Amino acid sequence: MDISVVIPLLNEDESLKELHNWIAKVMQSNNYVYEIIFIDDGSSDKSWAVIENLSFKNEAVKGIRFQRNYGKSQALDAGFEIAKGDVVITMDADLQDNPDEIPELYHLIIKENFDLISGWKKKRYDNVFTKNIPSKLFNAAARKTSGLKLHDFNCGLKAYKNEVIKTVKVSGEMHRYIPVLAKNEGFTKIGEKVVQHQARKYGVTKFGMDRFVNGFLDLITISFLSKFGKRPMHIFGLWGTCMFLFGTISAFYIGALKLYKVFNGIKTILVTDNPWFFIALTSMIIGTLLFLAGFIGELIIKTKSNEKHYKIKEKLNF
């Protein structure tokens, strides 16, 4: 199979038929063997009924319906798990991503051997103050932290080698950072393509300003995990050991100084009246806790399962 198009959605019943027809037209005109995978992330409108109807008319249409709303990352993960195409393309269901970009994205992956191509909506039709400016700040921080020179990490239109999506595990709200996750897994040929952005035609956006706050927090998380996610003892154990040694040395110094003054008849205070005693004690406790955190982290990594954090209610054409 040439292409799998993975489309997560939430309450987009008005746009699904038009989006399907547009994708199908592009695929047929280029003679691609394809599949369209819709992932209904707990919609409360008629989205699933529309997907069922499209699936009845076109056997290339497949659908997954979640029991409830789990989030875009979980929807993409479910789609990635079943995608069979040599090239996997993701796009949003709101018609803001242009399916006419598919042939060039496919060419960049197959002919130019890119591992991943991220879309860049250079000209946007969103509100300047609520989306454009926060998005620029967010992407600047992501570039600085990740080392990837991409302009639009959050663009839903991306293309991947099948190997990439089968290797990368998307969880939480990490869908914004799939290029970073791919880089961390050793896929280094990551490119960017300017894509056409279209104004929303139906419905309203499902994302608010909180996505930028969450995005920055996720960025910190993924930066930490990329460095220490597979070896937590290297950071927690190191700092824990340093803190414990500092506390131990300080405690010995306080004790030795106390004994010296007692044996030499020098006036002295109680050990518990010395502020350094509490600094030493606190350092030893914090050091022990940090070391235990690293040890527990290592145990979790070695025993963690690949349990899915979503429940599928229905499937179509599988």
pLDDT tens digits for 121-163?
887 665 545 566 777 777 887 788 788 889 888 899 999 999 9
41-45, 48-52, 80-84, 180-184: the lowest-pLDDT one: 180-184
Instruction: Give the mean pLDDT of the chain.
Output: 87
Q: Which of these, 84, 41, 85, lies nearest to 63 by C-alpha position?
A: 41
Instruction: State yes or no: pLDDT of 307 exceeds 70.
Output: no
Say whether pLDDT at 205 is over 70: no
Percent of the chain with pLDDT over 70: 86
The sign of the CA dihedral 77, 82, 85, 89 is: negative
Could you tell me the pTM of the whole model? Answer: 0.74
pLDDT at site 308:
62
Gyration radius (Cα) of the chain, Å: 27
Alpha helix (H) ranges present in the chain?
A: 13-29, 47-57, 72-82, 102-110, 133-146, 162-167, 178-184, 210-228, 233-263, 275-303
pLDDT band at 272 (very low <50, low <70, confident <90, very high): confident
Which residues does 91 contact at the CB level (< 8 Å), separation at least 6? 5, 6, 7, 97, 99, 156, 157
On the question of pLDDT at 207 being above 70, the answer is: no
Q: How far apart are CA 183 and CA 189, in angstroms?
A: 8
Q: What's the rounded Cα separation, in Å, for the pair 151 and 143?
A: 8
pLDDT score, position 226:
66
pLDDT of residue 144: 80
For residue 8, which amino acid is it?
P
Q: Are 269 and 212 in contact (CB under 8 A)?
A: no
pLDDT at 167: 93
Q: Which of 99-103, 115-119, 165-169, 197-201 has the lowest average pLDDT?
A: 197-201
pLDDT for 95 equals 92
Cβ-contact 39, 118 below 8 angstroms: no
